[in-house]
């Protein structure tokens, strides 16, 4: 039996999320500045067979055939004409259905990992095109570096130059279904944000982000009132520069000047919540 190869599947955080329109097929057009946190799942693969899910958040997820890791592996094997059997494992650390792209990150990590393991050498854009049918967030997760997201999630552009900053992530342990949150949104569509070329420090970033929104925050609070409690708790933490929900929730983030301050602040939040604090994920290369 060969050794396991591993790939990080970092959490996606939407620093702002404007819903700018809706396509005839019901999918929403978005404008979002996306970053990846230094916490995530891990996908492993080796020559062999089988699929196992383990880790602190594994409970909510069965190792079934429709798991996004397996769907990603099947899609790549089929598109690349690979028939060799592969064994896959998922270490689940991110809460499921929580707005930080856990399932999308897992699918994207599986694509990157198998591209390497099978020696395919597919460029990122080709993996991203294969990724889109697996979920609107999966192309951004294939990149797993800060980006500006447009379209329904597939139109990716480089992010403005980001300063160092810290993040606290908190989930009240309520799963929120993305389609329900989009359905609950009403009112006008937003314009895309006007962002500068970059920010000198975390305070400047937080100030500009403060003028923007997550348009899904209000509908998510309507469906899941604990989101408002989480936001209040984040805002009460010393050093929190901005608190906002990520994606379709219920996970919220706090923005801090430094990773160390964020890690310390996360420890002050109720242990009944899923919580993490630290810096950004930095992919190699």
104 is in an annotated binding site: yes
Q: Which range in 9-17, 63-71, 134-142, 259-267 contacts ligand C5P by CB under 6 A?
A: 134-142
Q: How far is the CB of 66 from ligand C5P (least distance, A)?
A: 12
Query: Which member of 123, 179, 187, 238 binds ligand C5P (CB under 6 A)?
Result: 179
12, 41, 92, 208: the catalytic one is 12
Name residue, tokens 């999320």.
17
Q: 10 Å Cβ neighbour count for 263?
A: 18
Query: Which member of 20, 178, 190, 258 binds ligand C5P (CB under 6 A)?
Result: 178
**Does 131 contact ligand C5P by CB under 6 A?**
no
Q: How far is residue 196's CA from residue 155's CA, in Å, rounded to a whole number?
A: 19
**Does 249 contact ligand C5P by CB under 6 A?**
no
CA distances from 151 to 4, 18, 20 (A): 36, 11, 9
Given a contact cutoff of 8 angstroms between Cβ atoms, the answer to whether 107 and 141 are in contact is yes
Q: How far is residue 224's CA from residue 146's CA, in Å, rounded to a whole number?
A: 28
Q: How far is residue 274's CA from residue 172's CA, in Å, rounded to a whole number?
A: 7
**Does 219 contact ligand C5P by CB under 6 A?**
no
- The per-residue DSSP string of 116-161 comes to HHTT----HHHHHHHHGGG-TTHHHHHH-S-EEEETTTTEEEEPPB
Give phi and psi for 249, each to the nearest 5. 75, 180
Q: How far is the CB of 23 from ligand C5P (least distance, A)?
A: 8
Instruction: Compare residues 202 and 216 and give the one whose CB is closer to ligand C5P.
Output: 216
Footprint (CB under 6 A) of ligand C5P, residues 4-43: 27-28, 30
User: Known catalytic residue: 12?
Assistant: yes
Q: Which range in 51-59, 77-85, 131-139, 168-176 contacts ligand C5P by CB under 6 A?
A: 131-139
Q: Which range in 155-163, 176-184, 260-268, 274-282 contacts ligand C5P by CB under 6 A?
A: 176-184
Specify which residues 90 forms β-bridges with: 43, 53
41, 91, 137, 208: the catalytic one is 137
Bond preceding residue 250 cis, omega within 30 of 0: yes
Instruction: Compare residues 28 and 93 and give the one whose CB is closer to ligand C5P.
Output: 28
User: Known catalytic residue: 215?
Assistant: no
Name the residue among 128, 143, 152, 162 with its Cα closest to residue 20.
Answer: 152
Residues that are catalytic:
12, 137
Q: Binding residues for ligand C5P, per CB under 6 A? A: 27-28, 30, 135-137, 152-153, 178-179, 182
Residues comprising the binding site for ATP? 95-105
């Amino acid at each position: 039996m060969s050794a396991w190869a591993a790939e990080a599947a970092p959490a996606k955080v939407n620093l702002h999320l404007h819903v700018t329109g809706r396509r005839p097929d019901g999918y929403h057009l978005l404008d979002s500045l996306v970053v990846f946190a230094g916490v995530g799942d891990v996908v492993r693969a080796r020559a062999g067979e089988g699929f196992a899910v383990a880790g602190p958040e594994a409970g909510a997820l069965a190792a079934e055939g429709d798991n996004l890791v397996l769907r990603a592996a099947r899609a790549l094997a089929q598109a690349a004409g690979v028939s060799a059997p592969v064994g896959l494992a998922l270490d689940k650390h991110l809460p499921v259905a929580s707005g930080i792209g856990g399932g999308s990150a897992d699918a994207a990590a599986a694509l990157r990992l198998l591209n390497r393991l099978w020696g395919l050498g597919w460029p990122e854009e080709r993996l991203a095109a294969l990724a889109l049918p697996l979920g609107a967030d999966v192309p951004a997760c294939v990149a797993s570096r800060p980006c500006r997201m447009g379209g329904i999630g597939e139109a990716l552009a480089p992010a403005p130059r980001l300063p160092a900053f810290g993040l606290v992530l908190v989930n009240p342990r309520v799963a929120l279904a993305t389609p329900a949150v989009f359905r609950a949104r009403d009112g006008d569509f937003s314009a895309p944000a006007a962002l500068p070329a970059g920010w000198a420090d975390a305070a400047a970033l937080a100030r500009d982000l403060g003028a923007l929104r997550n348009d899904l925050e209000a509908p998510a609070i309507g469906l899941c009132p604990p989101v408002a409690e989480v936001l209040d708790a984040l805002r009460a933490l010393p050093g929190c520069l901005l608190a906002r929900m990520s994606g379709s929730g219920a996970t919220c983030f706090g923005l801090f000047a430094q990773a160390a301050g964020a890690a310390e602040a996360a420890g002050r939040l109720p242990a009944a919540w899923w919580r993490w604090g630290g810096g950004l994920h930095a992919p190699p290369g």
